[in-house]
Amino acid sequence: MKFENILAFAKQLDENDPLKHFRDQFYIPIINGKECIYFTGNSLGLQPKTTQDYVLNELEDWANFGVEGHFHARKPWMPYHEIFPTQLSKIIGALPEEIVVMNQLTVNLHLLMVSFYRPTKQRYKIICETKAFPSDQYAMESQVKYHGFNYEEAVIEVSARAGEYAIRTEDILATIQEHGDSTALVLFGGVNYYTGQFFDIQKITEAAHAVGAIAGFDLAHAAGNVELQLHNWNADFACWCSYKYLNSGPGGVSGIYINQKHIADTSIPRFAGWWGHTKDTRFKMEKGFEPIPTAEGWQLSNAPILSMAAHKASLDIFDDAGMDNLIEKGKLLSDYLLFIIDEINNDLKEKLIQVITPRDAKEKGCQVSMLMLEKGAAVFEALKQHGVLADWREPNVIRVAPVPLYNTFNDVFTFGQIVKAILER
């Protein structure tokens, strides 16, 4: 599509947008008396208007039924988590039995590493991206220490080349090759939180398997954002949070994926709890853990229903909208944003914005990260004053994520006008 940097064009795109009605299903925060331009759905997705009802229903059922709500609530609490895998299977591209919703993200990353990072003296390394999200870095650091290794020796970070921002897939594959004999786990983000780079999960998985290592992915910035085919790509495990693109509320429940080939393998060690125990005999309350032979077998605790109700409200919207449609609109939004940024740069005497997100549709999601060569702080301040919520990362990166469920092309156009005005001053 040939884009134009004019209001009428942006409005036309909004008019023709088959998903335009979904915006009305969300609360848009008000700043200075009007709806803000919310570009931080990659950090905390907005609240669906239906969430209150979903959560209130559970509070009512709790009031009405007490403990009996486990069986008699409108959505009984005992099997509550079972309503998610079918919906999530379309979002992450996996079989329902490979998925379970439980706990929170970093907790799940640790639990998955307990099962899938089992270093030996020969094979103990973890290969990951440089500048992984800090919680993931701490998880890896503490895991390697827990097994008696140190970070410098055991964690191999793949970096971008000098002068580049995205990490080349060929460099990732070469690093896996190079450390092949000593690598236990290859652990990457799906989409890097800082650069917005969408990694080639399939190629990384193939390379990991070729050297006899496990391939795991943290999909916090990928789930609900980009096209995922975890099962077909043969990834071993993954985890994600539900409060970014998945709009399920602050600190919301996390999801995990474990490849079918592992789910019934009882030789894989795990930290167990009663909710992972075979359902028929769970309430016999007897000794001897027998895991459910699906991803559910990794559950520990009974489900946090209030948080799960919020998750359900959001996933029902994803079902209505359709992941394919969302991905298509997300691409168009971020392409339009890239076009607008290029226009701004072209109109300046010298380029002041360096886009550090890859431009290839296969290597990015909704997010565009702008390295501000000058006036970064002034631009960010002006955005705030004009009611645009974006995200600032030291030293000078502004992350902007227009998301397909509630952002408009007009949002992107208006954002461009504000940035342009400051940079041209």
Report the residue number, 131 or 179, with the smaller CB distance to ligand PLP. 131
Determine if the peptide bond prior to 395 is cis (ω within 30°): yes
Residues from 224 through 253 that contact ligand PLP (CB under 6 A): 241
137 binds ligand PLP (CB under 6 A): no
Shortest reach from residue 295's CB to ligand PLP, in Å: 18
Report the residue number, 189 or 404, with the smaller CB distance to ligand PLP. 189
Say how far apart CA 341 and CA 297 lie, in whole Å. Answer: 47
Binding mask of the shown chain, residues 205 to 224, with x at each position contacting ligand PLP by CB under 6 A: -------------x-xx---
Shortest reach from residue 130's CB to ligand PLP, in Å: 13
142 binds ligand PLP (CB under 6 A): no
50 binds ligand PLP (CB under 6 A): no
Instruction: Out of 105, 166, 201, 310, name the contact with ligand PLP by CB under 6 A.
Output: 105
136 binds ligand PLP (CB under 6 A): yes
Report the residue number, 135 or 150, with the smaller CB distance to ligand PLP. 135
52 binds ligand PLP (CB under 6 A): no
61 binds ligand PLP (CB under 6 A): no
Instruction: Out of 12, 64, 135, 232, name the contact with ligand PLP by CB under 6 A.
Output: 135
Report the residue number, 89 or 106, with the smaller CB distance to ligand PLP. 106
Total number of residues binding ligand PLP (CB under 6 A)? 12
Report the residue number, 76 or 251, with the smaller CB distance to ligand PLP. 251
128 binds ligand PLP (CB under 6 A): no
Instruction: Out of 104, 325, 396, 410, name the contact with ligand PLP by CB under 6 A.
Output: 104
The answer to whether 80 and 299 have CB atoms below 8 angstroms apart is: no
Shortest reach from residue 367's CB to ligand PLP, in Å: 11
133 binds ligand PLP (CB under 6 A): yes
Residues from 169 through 198 that contact ligand PLP (CB under 6 A): 189, 193
Indicate the pairing of strand 368-372 with strand 37-38.
unpaired
257 binds ligand PLP (CB under 6 A): no
Nearest to 295 by CA among 148, 1, 134, 98: 98
Report the residue number, 75 or 131, with the smaller CB distance to ligand PLP. 131
Report the residue number, 228 or 352, with the smaller CB distance to ligand PLP. 228
106 binds ligand PLP (CB under 6 A): yes
Strand order in the sheet with 368-372: 353-355, 368-372, 397-400, 391-393
Report the residue number, 22 or 245, with the smaller CB distance to ligand PLP. 245
User: Using CB under 6 A, which of the segments 19-27, 133-141, 178-186, 271-279 binds ligand PLP?
Assistant: 133-141
Shortest reach from residue 136's CB to ligand PLP, in Å: 5
Which residues contact ligand PLP by CB under 6 A?
104-106, 133, 135-136, 189, 193, 218, 220-221, 241
